[in-house]
Amino acid sequence: MEIITPYVTTSQKFISVFLSEKDNEYVISDGGWVDSNMYESILNFEDDIFNRAFFHYYNSFNIKEVYGFNKVKYYYKKTSKAFAIPSLIFDLSNFIASIISLSEIDFVDKQEKETKERFQRTANSFIQSIVPEDKLELGAYLGKNNEVRISAVIRKPKSKLILIHYITGSTPGYFFNSITRTNFLFELAAKGLYKEQIENKISLIDNIASGYNPEHFNSSLRHLLENTHSEMVNWSERDKLKQLV
């Protein structure tokens, strides 16, 4: 049952939540609307500031998530007590309104945002063309607290995983930050729940980005590879991925 709430985003969109009953529990979900872009807002988890703010709300409201059969993510809360339903509606609606409003804020300059979105689209399309759909998850979380989000995760036989993270930037400063973040994410992944399953870690370098300067980043990239025991593939040589995945 859809419940149209009085909660509204800063983009003037009213929040709907959905009530269902399963296994003697009441479930309140967003119906997959956030992930399906029904609110016409994209959650930019690649931005550190947005990421921290998102998980502040996520943890504060004790939100859960699950993927449906169509690979759409559903945010939800559930209870076995009918009298608690209004409280769950309040929490989930506030959470949705908060993160959608948050997504309307530009934390990075326009050129950097366009650079990231362009490379994410083109890299995603290429990887989808070489990896079967049922073996690939884009923007995948690793870890019980969703602290690690990798650009692409490929699932291999015997539960092995290949992690691919994108590095790009419109300026040398942003590009360096992208290298640093990849190093941090690979480190966390190597210490997390899936550490025994990780077969390989690959940095996909946007070497046609305006912020790319190979001489400037040689030491940083070398540190990334050595520190995380990972590999690097330049976008201009992306066909090498076919041998690595």
Q: What pLDDT digit, counting tens, does each position of 97-128 carry?
A: 999 999 888 766 778 888 999 999 999 999 99
Residue 40: which CATH number?
3.30.1460
pLDDT tens digits for range 147-179:
688 999 999 998 899 999 999 999 998 899 899
Residues 82 and 145 in one domain: no
- If asked whether residues 119 and 212 sit together in one domain, one would say yes
Q: What is the pLDDT of residue 237?
A: 96
Same domain membership, residue 117 and residue 97: no
Residue where a domain stops, chosen among 78, 103, 128? 103
Domain encompassing residue 236: 110-244
Q: Is this model's pTM higher than 0.85 or not?
A: no
Contact 203, 240 (CB under 8 A): no
Instruction: Map residue 136 onto helix, strand or coil.
Output: strand
Contact 148, 142 (CB under 8 A): yes
Count of beta carbons in the 10 Å neighbourhood of residue 151: 23
DSSP single-letter state for residue 216: H
Nearest of 55, 34, 241, 57 to residue 151 by alpha carbon: 241
* pLDDT tens digits, 171-220: 998 899 899 999 999 998 888 788 889 999 999 999 999 999 888 888 99
Report whether 46 contacts 63 (CB < 8 A): no
Say whether both 239 and 145 belong to one domain: yes
Same domain, 156 and 76: no
Q: Identify the domain boundary among 87, 103, 119.
A: 103
What tokens were used for 155?
A: 């699932």
Task: State the pLDDT at residue 43.
Answer: 83
Domain count, the chain: 2
End residue of a domain, out of 86, 103, 120: 103
Which range has the worst mean pLDDT, 79-93, 108-122, 125-139?
108-122
C-alpha span between 57 and 146 (Å, rounded): 13
CB atoms within 10 A of CB 168: 27
